[in-house]
Amino acid sequence: MSATHGRRPFLGGVSLLLLLAVSCGAAAAVFPESTARAIGRVNQHGPFLGVVVPNAFEMEPLLRSPRFSTAKSRLPPYLDVAGKRFRFGTIGEQKVVIVMTGLGMLNSGVTTQLLLTLFDVKGIVHFGIAGNADPDRQIGDVAVPRYWAHTGLWNWQRYGDGPENELALESNGDYTRKLGNLNFTDYTVANKNGRPARSAGGRSNLLNAVWYQPEEVFPASSGTPESRGHAFWVPVDAHYYDLSRKLEGLELERCIVAAGNGTDTATTTRKRRTCLPRRPAVARVERGCSASVFVDNAAYREFLRSRFRVTPVDMETAAVALVAKQQGKPFIAVRALSDLAGGGAAGSNETGVFAPLAAQNAVTVAVELISLL
Ligand SMILES: *[C@@H]1O[C@H](CO)[C@@H](O)[C@H](O)[C@H]1NC(C)=O
Ligand SMILES: *[C@@H]1O[C@H](CO)[C@@H](O)[C@H](O)[C@H]1NC(C)=O
Ligand SMILES: *[C@@H]1O[C@H](CO)[C@@H](O)[C@H](O)[C@H]1NC(C)=O
């Protein structure tokens, strides 16, 4: 391999990209030269606070908020790079760049890295809606956790092995049994005699157990590329978390007014108003977790709560947290609880009914937090 012959001194993320874009021409880079120049001009007005949002229905209320102003004279309203739109503007006094990631861990991780590589970003606020695993919280509450973990990196243990058996590749330091497992045998539905199948027949489950793993991390600050570390609980920025205390007591929406469903004349003319049992509140909590899994299952929700003591369960935040950690950028997330992650009564439809209210509450809290930072 002759890769080293073409190596140039590292010039830092943005200038290296500019160099690549300029020297290789439009066809070779992920974006054209004109975009590279536009990024350079935008960064002369930095630093920005990065606002990272999963989906359109969470971002729209922010773009509509009277607290947000689109960039006018000196900055473009947005730049499109690599299939993402980076929107510029201000929230209060704060200069922001807003980007929508799309669903799941891959999208949110890639988009956050792109944001930090391209733009002069001083910190990241992430917001959205989430499932709720915490019986002390209600739908509509907005959780601000101190720690986030990715609970989707697993070592799936072979059938017949138990907690005392070493995992495949554990001795290499690749995998661990420190964080605990989910044992499928514990979730066997009772048989006709009302007893778990395993106590009746002594049978276990071929799916055996999965062990939760920390992520491999490669912090940029270490100065040595490819020097591996591990991280499971990723703390949010201590200063941002401290400031989030000022959000407690913020007034949040309690009722949702939905248009009638069209099948009933009374409800189509008279809009339906659905209210939560109490006014939602901002809750600074200890933990949240994420994985590319939509949790709508009471048993798994209870497992996540009892094993990891989490409040919000979502599909993006831990990826944003892990990228911010590795790039050494301050980070915090607010997630409004939209449903019970499968813990509601059968046939309940909390996500469908309350997601817009939760999205609005997430925006209300995020906007307030952004203007504090
Ligand atoms: C899962 O539960 C079964 C039945 O109790 C047990 O034999 C097995 O060792 C457990 N596996 C783990 C990894 O805890
Ligand atoms: C529409 O609203 C009516 C009256 O509230 C209700 O009976 C009906 O089940 C609703 N239909 C759907 C599909 O939600
Ligand atoms: C759930 O609620 C949403 C919003 O009110 C509605 O559009 C949807 O039809 C409902 N689904 C069910 C299964 O009731």
Mean pLDDT by 10 residues, the chain (373 residues): 37 47 54 93 96 97 96 92 97 97 98 98 98 94 98 96 95 95 89 55 80 96 91 98 97 82 54 86 98 95 97 98 98 94 70 88 98 95
> CB of 180 closer than 6 A to ligand 1?
no
Q: Give the Å distance between the CA of 281 and the centre of ligand 3.
A: 25
Alpha carbon of residue 370 to chain centroid: 17
pLDDT of residue 191: 63
Short-list 218, 214, 236, 237, CA closest to 228: 218
Short-list 101, 149, 179, CA closest to 286: 149
> CB of 185 closer than 6 A to ligand 1?
yes
Q: Are 287 and 331 in contact (CB under 8 A)?
A: no
The span from the CA of 249 to the CA of 240, in Å, is 17
pLDDT of residue 273: 84
212: Cα within 13 Å, side-chain hemisphere: 20
pLDDT of residue 30: 77
Q: What is the position in ligand 1's atom list of the atom closest to the CA of 157?
A: 13
Short-list 274, 240, 279, 293, CA closest to 127: 240
| Phi and psi, residue 303, nearest 5° | -60, -50
Q: Are 124 and 112 in contact (CB under 8 A)?
A: yes
Ligand nearest to the CA of 272: 2
Q: What is the position in ligand 1's atom list of the atom closest to the CA of 211?
A: 13
Q: Give the Å distance between the CA of 180 and the centre of ligand 1.
A: 12
Short-list 292, 293, 291, 304, CA closest to 343: 304
Q: Give the Å distance between the CA of 101 and the centre of ligand 3.
A: 25
pLDDT of residue 261: 55
Short-list 153, 123, 12, CA closest to 369: 123
Q: Are 180 and 319 in contact (CB under 8 A)?
A: no
